[in-house]
Chains A and B, each alone.
Chain A
Amino acid sequence: MTTNAVWLKVDGERVAESVQEAVAKLDGAGELVLDFSSVGRIDPGAVGALEKLAVAAGEKAVKICLCGVNVSVYRVLKLVKLTPKFSFGV
């Protein structure tokens, strides 16, 4: 079985917008990979966008993988209990 994986680079200066744009790519994707390697920090807007993305992905049965997430951002996701919604890659 093959999965249709979509890869997106998240803009470190526009994290919330980048994540919102990712929602549109969910259709038809088996897996969505978001590259966070340019993201140094996230704000509440980005957290909100990720929450929405997780909900949308769940509805469409799309797996979301966040890769290149630094430990500070990872900790934020942990604190807002979002880590179970995503898988994490290097």
Chain B
Amino acid sequence: MPENIAPPTEERIAYLEGLVSQARIAAAVFTQFTQEDVDRIVKPMVVAGLEQAQHLARLAVEETRLGVMEDKAIKNMVATEFVYNYVRDKRTVGCIREFPESGLVEMAEPIGVIFSLTPITNPTSTVLFKCIMAIKTRNAMVFSPHPNAWRCCAEAVRIMYETALKHGAPEGVFTCIEAPTLPDNAYLMKHKDVRLVDATGGRGASRAAYSSGKPALGVGSGNTPVYLEKTADLDMAVVDIITSKTFDNGTICASEQTVVIDDEIYDRALQKFAELGVHICNEAETELLGHTVIDPVKGQMQPMAVGQKATDIARLIGIRVKPHTKLLIAPIQGVGREYPLSVEKLFPVLAVCRAHSVDEALKLCVDVNHQGGLGHTAVIFSRNDEIIRRFGEVINAGRIIVNSPGAIGALGGVYNDLVPTFSFGCGTGGGNSTMDNVNVYHYLNVKRVARRTQPHMWFRVPNQIYFDMNSVENLREFPSRSTLIVTNQALEQIGHVDIVRRALPAQTMVRVLRIPDAEPEVKVVMHGVEALNSYAADQIVALGGGSVIDAAKLMKLKYEFPEADLEELAAPFLDIRKRVVQFPTVKTNQARLIAISTTSGTGSEVTPFAVMTDKARGRKVTLADYSLSPDVAIVDPQFVMSMPKGLTADTGVDCLTHALEAGVSVFASPYTDSNAMQAIRLVFKYLPIAYENPRDEEARTMVHNAACIAALAFSNASVGVNHALAHAFGARFGVAHGRANALMLPHVIAYNAAVPTKFRPSPRQRAYVAHKKYAMIADLLGLGGNTIEEKIQNLIAATEQLLDRLGMPRSIAELGISHEAFERELPELAKIAFDDPSWRTNPRMPLISELTDLFRSAYRGRGPAPETGRPQQQSEVEVCV
């Protein structure tokens, strides 16, 4: 609608306002109606439409002088009966669809007042269709028919309105503008109470609708290409094309416009057309047609030809045809402006074009499609599924009709299961918001009620865990042809490797791979993979602390999946179930991984994690996937009896951190809690004893078990912000992991126990409970306290006491790191910690500034070590476990 259209007169505006006012009230009142109410109204409307189909068709032809009365009657019946058949059982009020498995419910919200433009080509059928849609969806509609079809449309609206009113519809639900004008349309398209502009018609109406600034449903013209492929059922194709192209004298915009015919069947096809009453134009006639029925300036069809009979068109331009000629076929040599007849022709003139190959045919169809037909309709006649598929791929059309008439096929419900419609969406190619056959769902706002869903949790652990003194003997139960023991030199020197070697079945060929005792680099992993390949190993025994076991996990991964990219697999993720990078699943080799831990901390023998050093970027990266979990874990304390005091303390603190973090994790569950709490209890009771009396077998056993039990917890509940901080700090300053954890631990407990600045979005988190969990731990340890706050303070004090007793540094400063150096690194440390996946399950979502503050707290530490070894300003807490 051009912007420069003069506004309607005041009197006319008052008239239009009256229509909208009625519709606005009707739409508001309509919101109270139930599904049963609207269905009770729709059915008699449909019956009324059917009863009046012929009457309305006659009026339409008389007024518009377009089309065929009988065909228009059929269209009116399709618009009522077929549409009703589709909508009768559709829910359009209240809850319209439910997805119990995903907790989603879709609810219908009516639009309100719809301003609807209807075309001259299908006037009454479009009105009948839209009236049914409007009532079914509880909307009010103001109709603006094509100016040359308004009387028949007004009659169709009257019939629908009176029937609807009689059966309970609100007054004013349909109104129709008398003698509508462009100014009327321009005024109403921008009316504040019009909620949707629904324009069915030409491209102009559609563009005006979209440029009105209102939500719009504008659907427009097409230019349907047809590919008549050589394998087609030719008799059927010819009849279908004639049926479609002559239906209502070709006024349906989905009707065939240019038929591209394979060379092999071209002559035969034209002969068949001719036999069935089609006039095949000669070259001169084709040229004449092109210059007369197509506007040479605009390159568009002449309105005077639209909807006229073939014989009338022929007579008008001076072509002699037989009396009952149905259709004029004009052979053209190509598609484009130089071939005028290759455009849309809503009258019984059909262009045909010969193609010498499938490729040429498809290209010609693409050309037609792009000459005003984008997004609309296309037709193919073929028995070759591959060619049909290719046609579907290259043609941009909302309806690709196969082996059926285009016009009636696109209407839906007659030749196929497309949704019956009188409004064809043409997608963005046609400048439309939808490519669908417009139906009830386009006249509704669909509200989605989304219930909280909680992802299912898991508790995954290795198949077999052997524990207690000499449990390594269980290795005998695992037959192996070739076993690679991955360990480090120190463990071999103290005889641990020999113990393992003796425990393996006698027939096993055993090789030993010694690796550095540090988080593995890629080159170490690849060295192991070479060994596994050269020995064709079917079993890996990882004997060592976390680094060795992690290295063995990565070796097994690369051995079984040579294509796996460790760097890529270490990509960050927020939720392990939705991670972008997936671990591979198709194994090439198969090797059992048995992990025997020689420290009591990481629990790597049961975890699905592997920490790898990225030296180039000065960081540690964690790979996480349950496929990394060892197949068998052996928790034999004989391997930790000789562990040095410092290592006992470091690894023990790591174990405690695992348990504490799993305990407050947002992924914590009753399954992980039971393990986390037991591990905390064992650490507080036995770690000081194992540290002070390394040969105490019971204490060693219990701490070793605690490490594994804590790992079972954090394998499933994960860890938290303490680990993120420790990873970043440890990697940058070369501080042992347990020690780095110890520096952060009291500060992190205090941090997590406070009210978060920011809650971490997690459906698992039903309440903020971290402070209560800490209090529960304090109770478990018998630390006393009357309030949650007191209990938390007692837990922090007990933790600090334990750390002091284990000789842990009290601050980062105590490690000899200068304040300047630390502050210099701090921004990067905080960023690295934020990228660390460890905190993703932390109960409190850390802000970068908070991570920075935590690092600073750890730098300042928990005050100078008191002579008593107790933290200052804390009362001594007795641990009762």
Contact = CB atoms under 8 A, between A and B. Distances in A.
A41 B32 CA distance: 7
Contact of B172 (A42, A44, A77): A44
Contacts of A45: 171
A48 B112 CA distance: 18
A43 B170 contact: yes
Interface string A73-89: 10111011000000000
A38 interface: no
Contact of A72 (B22, B26, B31): B31
B845 to A, nearest CB: 38
Interface string B164-179: 0000001110000000
Interface string B713-756: 00000000000000000000000000000000000000000000
Contact of B31 (A44, A48, A75): A75
Contacts of A79: 24, 27-28, 31, 112
A80 B31 CA distance: 12
A43 B170 CA distance: 7
B29 interface: yes
B74 interface: no
Contacts of A75: 28, 31-32
Contacts of A73: 32
A23 interface: no
Contacts of B170: 43-44
Of A42, A44, A75, A76, most buried by chain B (CB within 10 Å of CB) is A44
B378 to A, nearest CB: 42
A52 B638 CA distance: 94
Contacts of A76: 28-29, 31-32
Interface in B1-59: 22, 24-29, 31-32
Interface residues of A, number: 14
Contact of B171 (A42, A44, A72, A80): A44
B32 A44 contact: no
A75 B109 CA distance: 12
B109 to A, nearest CB: 11
A62 B28 CA distance: 26
A80 B32 contact: no
A72 B32 contact: yes
Nearest to A46: B29
B29 A43 contact: yes
Interface residues of B, number: 13
A42 B29 CA distance: 7
A42 B31 contact: no
Interface in A25-59: 41-45, 47-48
A48 B27 CA distance: 14
Contacts of B27: 79
A1 B753 CA distance: 57
Nearest to B24: A80
A72 B26 CA distance: 14
A79 B170 CA distance: 15
A65 B112 CA distance: 27
A80 B22 CA distance: 11
Contact of A43 (B22, B24, B171): B171
Contacts of B112: 79
A72 B171 CA distance: 18
Of A41, A43, A45, A79, most buried by chain B (CB within 10 Å of CB) is A79
A73 B32 CA distance: 7
Given A79-B112, A80-B24, A47 B29 contact: yes
Of B22, B29, B31, most buried by chain A (CB within 10 Å of CB) is B29
Contacts of B29: 41-44, 47, 76
Contacts of B31: 72, 75-76, 79
A79 B28 CA distance: 6
B32 A48 contact: no
Nearest to A70: B32
A43 to B, nearest CB: 6
Of A47, A72, A75, most buried by chain B (CB within 10 Å of CB) is A47
Contacts of B26: 44
Contacts of A44: 22, 25-26, 29, 170-172
B28 A47 contact: yes
A25 B59 CA distance: 52
A74 B626 CA distance: 56
Nearest to A78: B28
A44 B171 CA distance: 6
B169 to A, nearest CB: 10
Interface string B138-181: 00000000000000000000000000000000111000000000
Contacts of A42: 29, 32
Contact of B25 (A41, A72, A80): A80
A47 B170 CA distance: 11
A87 to B, nearest CB: 20
A16 B28 CA distance: 16
Nearest to B28: A79
A79 B112 CA distance: 9
A77 B112 CA distance: 14
Nearest to A77: B28
A55 to B, nearest CB: 14
Of B31, B32, B172, most buried by chain A (CB within 10 Å of CB) is B32
Interface string B74-85: 000000000000
A49 to B, nearest CB: 11
A9 B225 CA distance: 67
Interface of A: 41-45, 47-48, 72-73, 75-77, 79-80
9 contacts: A43-B170, A47-B25, A48-B25, A75-B31, A75-B32, A76-B29, A76-B32, A79-B24, A80-B28
Interface of B: 22, 24-29, 31-32, 112, 170-172
Given A44-B29, A79-B24, A80-B25, 17 more contacts: A41-B29, A41-B32, A42-B29, A42-B32, A43-B29, A44-B25, A44-B170, A45-B171, A72-B31, A73-B32, A76-B29, A76-B31, A76-B32, A77-B28, A79-B27, A79-B31, A80-B28
Shortest Cβ-Cβ A-B pairs, 7 listed: A79-B28, A44-B171, A76-B28, A44-B25, A41-B32, A72-B32, A80-B28
